[in-house]
Amino acid sequence: MREPDISIAECSYRRVLEIVSNKWTALVIYALEDGTLRYGLIKSRIADISQKMLTQTLKQLERDGLVVRKVTPVVPPVVDYALTPLGRTLLPFLRMLKDWSSAHYASVSEAREAYDAVHQDASHG
């Protein structure tokens, strides 16, 4: 029999989707996969993230228990970020998505071109 719990709306799945569905969250987690990184290093890894968005994303991740923040009170300040064990459990998921990208993104691109050729009104790039 089919599970009846699938009316997808209310479960934790949805909440987790909200976490990962941010523009930057996945990228930041992925940037930290190799271990602890200072704020500036994370920023240079992602490059086109703004300071505001990086800080905001990091703060949210910290709140969710996915990242730890460690301040070393020296001048100038040193702030390190690292994934928590909980945060690290998301890595396989991110890697899987990355593999998917390598394997299938070309197909998506083709599909878009084909679609746009037919529907003739697109200008997405």
List interacting residues with DNA (CB under 7 A). 22-24, 38-41, 48-53, 55, 58-59, 69, 71, 76-79
CB of 29 to DNA, least distance (A): 15
Proportion of the chain in helix, strand, coil states, percent, rounded to 5:
55, 10, 35
Number of residues near its own copies (by CB under 8 A) = 56
Q: Does residue 102 belong to the site contacting its own copies (CB under 8 A)?
A: yes
Partner interacting with residue 52 (select from DNA, its own copies, none; CB below 5-8 Å by kind): DNA
Find, among 90, 87, 38, 27, the residue nearest to 62 by Cα.
87
Q: Cis bond leading into 76, ω under 30°? A: yes
Interacting positions 17-76 with its own copies (CB under 8 A): 17, 19-23, 26-27, 30-31, 34, 45-48, 62-66
Would you say 31 and 42 are in contact if contact means Cβ atoms under 8 Å apart? Answer: yes
